[in-house]
Structure 1
Amino acid sequence: MTTARVTFYAGAAEAAGTDSTHITLPDGATVGDLISALGEGKSRLTEVLGVCAIAVAGQQASDGDEPLPAGEIDVDVLPPFAGG
């Protein structure tokens, strides 16, 4: 099992209605599985997740097929940044 402590930032937190949550996924779950589970039933969050960067244990996930490590992990959901 993977237990993810998910932290949402900026617009992602607004869309999620919270700045953090916990989610449990089965062994072998991927970043894509995590994104799907987070957005389930939340159309605005699903839309925002489509443009966010996902960091797993401090490392940006390369794509949705990337497997999540087993155990407890920290996940950050980072919307695009603007400015310079």
Structure 2
Amino acid sequence: MEVSDKVTIQVRYFAGARAASGVDEELLALPAGSTVTDASVAMTERHGEKLGGVLTACSFLLDGIAVRVLATRLSDGGQLDVLPPFAGG
């Protein structure tokens, strides 16, 4: 059995996060054991401080489940949805 030293996740951006990143979705490769916080840092490094500012207000879904603790570890092949606050009216 081969043990990977990285995890690759699909990141999907919505609303203001999509506008700040400039993409709808992307694959993000991170070291094994990475967390949602680590993914957020990597997204900011890739797309800049405009996205970094948006991420501070975002909530996340990991494989369709709301992330309550940003130290939650990512699984290889997982899907992370980035959801900025939505305004309605």
TM-score by length of 1: 0.91
Gaps spanning 5+ residues in structure 1: where? none
Gaps spanning 5+ residues in structure 2: where? 1-5
Number of aligned positions between the proteins: 83
Q: Distance in 2 between matches of 1:33 and 1:23?
A: 11
Identical aligned residues as a percent: 37
After superposition, the CA RMSD in angstroms is 1.2
Q: Distance in 2 between matches of 1:61 and 1:26?
A: 20
Residue of structure 2 aligned with 1:51, choices 57, 65, 69:
57
TM-score by length of 2: 0.86
Equivalence map 1:1-84=2 (5 Å): 1-40=6-45, 42-69=48-75, 71-83=76-88
Q: Distance in 1 between matches of 2:71 and 2:65?
A: 15
State the shift of 1:63 in Å: 2.2
Q: Which runs of 4+ in 1 moved over 3 A?
A: none
